[in-house]
Structure 1
Amino acid sequence: MTLDRRLHAYRPDLADEALRGQVEAERFVSGTPARIALAVADLRPSPNLACGLDTQLLLGEDVLVFERADGWAWVKAVRDGYVGYLPETSLTVIETPATHWVTAPRSFLYNGPDLRFPNAHAISMGSRMTVTGEAETRGTRYFLLNDGRSVIANHCASIGTPAGVDYVAVAARFLETPYLWAGRSGMGIDCSGLVQLAMHMMGLEAPRDSDMQANGFGSPITREELRRGDLVFWKGHVGIMEDEKTLLHANGHTMSVAREDLNAAIERIGWLYEQPTGYRRPDRIA
């Protein structure tokens, strides 16, 4: 059986120690922990800025680093196991545990507790940080972070605090967010990234890509059984049922996260991608 390179770190010269006995490689390493230091870090299948993206990692997410060479790091995301290359400058050491995450679709990091400070950096829902204190400026409350920066306090919550009443409500907060192939943030997101991030913010874990989600995630159902929270799959695409008739999805037609009547979506998508390939119900949609 050929292992999926998206989820298994192996090359002829180097492989993840966890794969010893499953693959052949000149040497095996366990990986060194590191943390994403950028607002959004692009993960690629090869160490080349000209190649396309596979996915993105968010500020504060942890990785295992198998190799650093020529300015690139070969890593595996701790949370969903995705493997790829990113610039070494995307990483920092893990000094303290992350305590909070961003629960707003988008927010900003400031150089201090004041929204008027220059050089604010946009960050996405799901970004993680270490809060060391609080401050208030002109009635606005800020969390003070261990790196000296600040963030709007009511845009954040303790890690694990749900970002909505259910994952569908979280996904709906991304309406009109631009579509971005391989995107996984409030600045740009793709269809499976929307499913994964929305579920993650409710304490649920979904695979990253639509084929992974379609192949064994949750339970298969029929079209007639569709209800809120169910997933509809096409070849290379996935959407979330907001109710029995309405699809919520990041799509290349509107180039955004949008609502669409399911029947209209099936007719529109059919000419290029044929009919839906399946329908699935996540085991838990809270």
Structure 2
Amino acid sequence: MDSDKMFHPSLAAALMKLNPEDGEKMMEYFQTQALLTREKALLQASVREQKKLLVENGKLKKDIEQLRRELNDKQRRRGAKALLSPSKPANSPAAAAPQTAGEATRRRRRDKKAAPEAPLLEAAPAVDVSRLDLRVGRVLAVRRHPLAADLTVRDVDTGEKAPRTVVSKCRPDDPTSSLAVLLCNVKACKVKGVASQARLLRCFRPDGPAELLAPPAGSAPGDRVTFLNYPGEPEPELQAKQRVWEHVQPDLRVDARGVANYKGCGFQVKGKGLCRAPTLTNCSVGCT
């Protein structure tokens, strides 16, 4: 190590003169101490600088957070002002005049009264056999209509508190006591003075024989007749203007096996079987 760089030449000469043997060692010792002192000073300065930077960074973070809060507050106030003050054309004289909360409220009420209400659009229910309330009924009694020789009046048990009265055309081959399938959600109407509360389903050929549609063996009055491919609950009462029966009836058929179906899906009483025509095949299903 060059002593001239660390010590004054006169100091080095004096040490060598005082102690020729250990003078150089003493010089090296002093030089080492000097280097350590310098490094310690540099390290302390570096630590102070780091602390200073940490303090400045903390202050910058606080400033940034404060600015963010102020910006959010301004945006909220601007949004609230836009809601309270309806937009006006740029060339309108009132655009330059600020509106009070009361004026804005009155204006919204006027606009609400002036604007026509948009009609609510509801999806129309599908027109299919699921809208028919078809039930099993037991014919309890059959009698002639008092005012029409070609009509009969039946009392039919449909599993309700009281039997339903059904007025239909007289057929000489109709059984007087049997299970039948009834359309029960038609509107009750008077037929020559006698109220009819349901309709009987028949299998028929045009200008040919007809017979009552028969539920499966083991059916009980009140059992629902359903369709696997057309789930859903029937309407409480069919509306005449919707003409549901008129749309559905052309697709009610009896197939070659004598099974009644709607678009290929059988009339079924769940857990008991399918409804059939007693003797007819390949014919239509209607009501009377």
TM-score by length of 2: 0.21
The structure richer in strand per residue is 1
Q: Which one has a bigger Cα radius of gyration?
A: 2
Q: Whose helix fraction is larger, Structure 1's or Structure 2's? A: 2
When normalised by structure 1's length, the TM-score is 0.21
